[in-house]
Amino acid sequence: MTTSHYIAGRWVEGQGSDCISVNDPALGQPFAELMAASIAQVDQAVTAARGALPAWKNTSASERAAYLRGFAEQLGQRREALITLQMRNNGKPRHEAEIDLDDAIATFGYYAELAEQLPSKNRDVPLAAPGFSARTRLEPVGVVGLIVPWNFPLVTSAWKLAPALAAGCTVVLKPSEVTPLIEQAYGQIADALGLPAGVLNIVNGKAETGAALSNHNGLDKLSFTGSNSVGSQVMRSASAQCRPVTLELGGKSAIVVFDDCDVGQAVEWIVAGITWNAGQMCSATSRLLVQDGIADALLPRLQVALEQLRVGNPLTEEVEMGPLTSQAQWLKVAGYFATAREEGLHCLAGGKALDRDGWFVSPTLYADVPKDSRLWTEEIFGPVLCARRFATEGQAIAEANDSRFGLVATVCSADLERAERVADALEVGHVWINSVQAVFVETSWGGTKGSGIGRELGPWGLSAYQSVKHVTRCLG
């Protein structure tokens, strides 16, 4: 992993002006450096993808499926190295890093199966009008730029890369500069499998590299996962070219706990929803809505659970939560702690950075948070939970929906009929009922409102990289 970029089937050194420092967040120290790609190298990557497209899109579905299965197998063969790298560069506990790898493997396997099930290129379309025939065909959208975030590297890239390749697209992947190393495995696997040169290209860099890719007129589609601020810039770039875009953006999601719920079970679901990946998830259920009848029993139990959570270096300790992944994110979360003090919020647990090496913060719970608090309305991207009480089902639905985001939600209730009813009323893209945030490749991922455009995973993830063509012929 000493060379930074995979372009046209070759590993090349970066020629950009930025030096990327790769850090171990548990120590707050760098352990690798990469030179970013230059704008010219981004152009070379797009050109390589464009050149590889005609042959790749005309490969058989079974041939593309074989490559995808090869990616899944090769990821498995690199298991321990990738898990360790995920722990070291992201600060994830081992069990989270293992799930990440299993997720990526399952994604490639799933889209291999979907590739084999693709319909024949031509399908007849019945017409009411006589004298004409019509057929439809699904075609790859073309060359796609994939820009992925730092909180779930390897995983988010698999969610984009596997369906894009299955559809017959060629790609240019731009990993986050915070976690650039683990996606290098995809280039190594492409080499091992003999993937045709140019089908997969990887360029690393900071904002300049991402902007060069987003603005490149050689792309046919952009798929971006990350913050709303950067997502809006990506969307502007796409609009200048009038090309399609998939955006998976932020969230400020609610977990709704009704008073018929088992307290211990509810605490487990709540803690998982806010401390997994140290709360650095767009899907973090950071707004807790708890019904009056259970609040006095639940909040003290929740406080104890958060205070007893084992936080530390995943490479040297048995931990349940690691550090924040970057110093920038650590400073951002610390800023929200200061805002909470300024607003006079009632802190039941945490509310501070930990006095140790690395970028650690305490799992945090604020109670009775006003609806106009910045901590209630803004995405923090850390293990910071804000709680409010509600009286009725209607009030819970209204407060959960009162957000500019609409990614996910969780409903906790022993009354399954009510839980299903509330799930249907929530204005989000994915709802869990009485569960941790289990994500399956067969289901869709994406949100409403400010949480993005389009869907990933499932058959919807594949269709995002396909275009529909109709051919109509006069029979006269």
Rg, C-alpha atoms of the chain: 23
Q: Is the pLDDT of residue 2 over 60?
A: no
d(CA 225, CA 456): 10
d(CA 340, CA 378): 12
β partners of residue 157: none
Mean pLDDT of 232-245: 92
- Can you say whether the dihedral through the CA atoms of 325, 366, 230, 8 is positive or negative? positive
Structure-block tokens of residue 11: 């590993």
Give the pLDDT confidence of 323-371 residue by residue, as tens digits: 999 999 999 999 999 999 999 999 999 999 999 999 999 999 999 999 9
What pLDDT, on a 0 to 100 scale, did the predictor assign at position 93?
97
Give the pLDDT confidence of 14-54 residue by residue, as tens digits: 999 999 999 999 999 999 999 999 999 999 999 999 999 99
pLDDT tier for residue 122 given thresholds of 50, 70 and 90: confident
Query: Percentage of the chain surpassing pLDDT 70?
Result: 99
What domains are defined for the chain?
A: 5-249+451-474 (3.40.605.10), 254-441 (3.40.309.10)
What pLDDT, on a 0 to 100 scale, did the predictor assign at position 144?
98
Q: Are 19 and 33 in contact (CB under 8 A)?
A: yes
- Measured from the Cβ of residue 241, the count of other Cβ atoms closer than 10 Å reads 17
Helix (H), strand (E) counts: the chain: 15, 22
**What residue type is assigned to position 73 of the chain?**
E
Question: Which of 122 and 68 is assigned the larger pLDDT?
Answer: 68
What pLDDT, on a 0 to 100 scale, did the predictor assign at position 62?
93
d(CA 371, CA 374): 8
What pLDDT, on a 0 to 100 scale, did the predictor assign at position 3?
66
pLDDT tier for residue 166 given thresholds of 50, 70 and 90: very high
CB-side neighbour CA atoms (13 Å) of 192: 16
- Measured from the Cβ of residue 455, the count of other Cβ atoms closer than 10 Å reads 20
What pLDDT, on a 0 to 100 scale, did the predictor assign at position 118?
87
Backbone angles phi, psi at 469, to 5 degrees: -120, 135
Contacts of 144 (CB under 8 A, 6+ apart): 160, 164, 169, 170, 171, 172, 219, 220, 221, 222, 223, 465
- The residues annotated with a catalytic role in the active site are 248, 282
d(CA 8, CA 46): 9
How is residue 18 annotated by DSSP? P
Report the relative pairing of strands 123-124 and 132-140 from DSSP bridges: antiparallel
Structure-block tokens of residue 420: 């299903």
Structure-block tokens of residue 281: 């998830």
Give the pLDDT confidence of 409-463 residue by residue, as tens digits: 999 999 999 999 999 999 999 999 999 999 999 999 999 999 999 999 999 999 9
What pLDDT, on a 0 to 100 scale, did the predictor assign at position 253?
98
What pLDDT, on a 0 to 100 scale, did the predictor assign at position 14?
94
d(CA 227, CA 176): 12
Rounded to two decimals, the pTM is: 0.96
DSSP 195-231: PPTTSEEE---SHHHHHHHHT-TT-SEEEEES-HHHH
DSSP 55-116: HHHTS-HHHHHHHHHHHHHHHHHTHHHHHHHHHHHH---HHHHHHHHHHHHHHHHHHHHHHH
- Nearest partner of 362 among 342, 341, 344, 347, judged by Cα: 347
